[in-house]
């Protein structure tokens, strides 16, 4: 009797387990918010799911949403500021979890004027999208 009870418990445990449902990689709607007091000209974003030019972003403003095949918490972002090219630097996407089907905002600021470096200080998940 104990043997059948043990087998029943094992069977119930196996059938009660659910597979984790992962959200699709994308698409992801991305925009950039300029946290600095200078205008970003010719902003280019590379999310590993595409490259797109977002245009110019004034101080404290944000771009429109642009759709990418997928996006990650880090991205390669470049902009022209005072006629010089600023850049976040290359990103290694290995082992990085994609953001999924969301509208997101990268909050970007100038971290070093002398090194011409931009930094993503925050990624805000606005709302889910319906592709």
127: tokens are: 């709302």
Asked whether the beta carbons of 56 and 41 are under 8 A apart, the reply is yes
Q: What are phi and psi of 60, to 5 degrees?
A: 75, 0
Asked whether the beta carbons of 10 and 82 are under 8 A apart, the reply is no
User: What is the residue whose two structure tokens read 């082992």?
Assistant: 95
* Domain ranges, ordered by start, for the chain: 21-128
pTM above 0.95, yes or no: no
Task: Tell me if the domain spanning 21-128 has CATH number 2.60.40.2890.
Answer: yes
pLDDT in tens, the chain (131 residues): 777 777 777 777 776 666 545 557 889 999 999 999 999 999 999 998 888 999 999 999 999 999 999 999 999 999 999 999 999 999 998 899 989 899 999 999 999 999 999 999 999 999 988 75
């Amino acid at each position: 009797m104990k043997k059948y009870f043990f087998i029943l418990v094992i069977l119930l445990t196996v059938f009660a387990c659910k597979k984790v449902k992962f959200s699709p990689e994308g698409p992801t709607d991305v925009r950039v918010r300029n946290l600095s007091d200078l205008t970003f000209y010719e902003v280019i974003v590379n999310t590993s799911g595409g490259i797109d030019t977002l245009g110019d972003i004034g101080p404290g403003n944000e771009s429109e949403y642009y759709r990418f095949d997928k996006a990650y918490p880090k991205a390669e972002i470049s902009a022209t500021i005072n006629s010089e090219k600023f850049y976040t630097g290359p990103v290694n996407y290995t082992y990085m979890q994609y953001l999924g089907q969301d509208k997101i905002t990268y909050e970007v600021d100038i971290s070093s004027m002398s090194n011409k470096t931009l930094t993503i200080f925050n990624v805000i998940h606005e709302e889910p999208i319906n592709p």
